[in-house]
Amino acid sequence: MDLDEGFPIAYQVLEKNVPVYASGGELVGTVDHVVAAPEQDIFHGVVIKSGNGKRFIAADQVGSLHEHGVDLLIDLAATASLPEPHGGAPVYRDNEPGVKIGHWQHMKDFAKGREAEEKFKEQK
């Protein structure tokens, strides 16, 4: 790619409206927002604004992130079939069943009100 997209960056600092390019260098759209699970440091992908509305690009289709550009591993034709974004349910417990929750995680959950939420669910 001949464009100066700036330095490579992490998904945590990718900004809105950064241009998104197909593998052939064609402009596909701009970043709307990043989809991630920051507490687990998991990058799920990017939602972009394009001529076809908002579209979701999975992390495995993203080649690189830069200050001024996102480079995809898919070509322009493949971007036409990208799915529309859809919301997902929040994950409150992501530890394995039967694994004791550490003291620090218990305190974080308590501060966020998750303990009360769990007790409420058990009473139902």
> What confidence tens digit (pLDDT) does each residue in 74-112 have?
999 999 999 999 865 444 444 444 545 555 665 566 565
Residue 12 pLDDT exceeds 70? yes
- d(Cα 38, Cα 94) in Å, to the nearest integer? 13
Q: Which domain range does residue 28 map to?
A: 11-79
- Answer yes or no: is 96 within a domain: no
Mean per-residue pLDDT over the chain, rounded:
81
User: How many distinct structural domains can be found in the chain?
Assistant: 1
- Answer yes or no: is 43 within a domain: yes
Question: What are the residue ranges of helices labelled H in 44-102?
Answer: 76-79
- Answer yes or no: is 104 within a domain: no
- Answer yes or no: is 38 within a domain: yes
pTM of full prediction above 0.95: no
- d(Cα 36, Cα 90) in Å, to the nearest integer? 11
- Answer yes or no: is 73 within a domain: yes
The closest of 72, 41, 69, 68 to 58, measured between CA atoms, is 72
Give me the CATH number covering residue 50.
Answer: 2.30.30.240
Q: How many CA atoms lie within 13 A of 124 on its CB side?
A: 6
Which pLDDT band, with edges at 50, 70 and 90, does 120 fall under?
very low
Which pLDDT band, with edges at 50, 70 and 90, does 21 fall under?
very high
- Answer yes or no: is 91 within a domain: no
- Answer yes or no: is 24 within a domain: yes
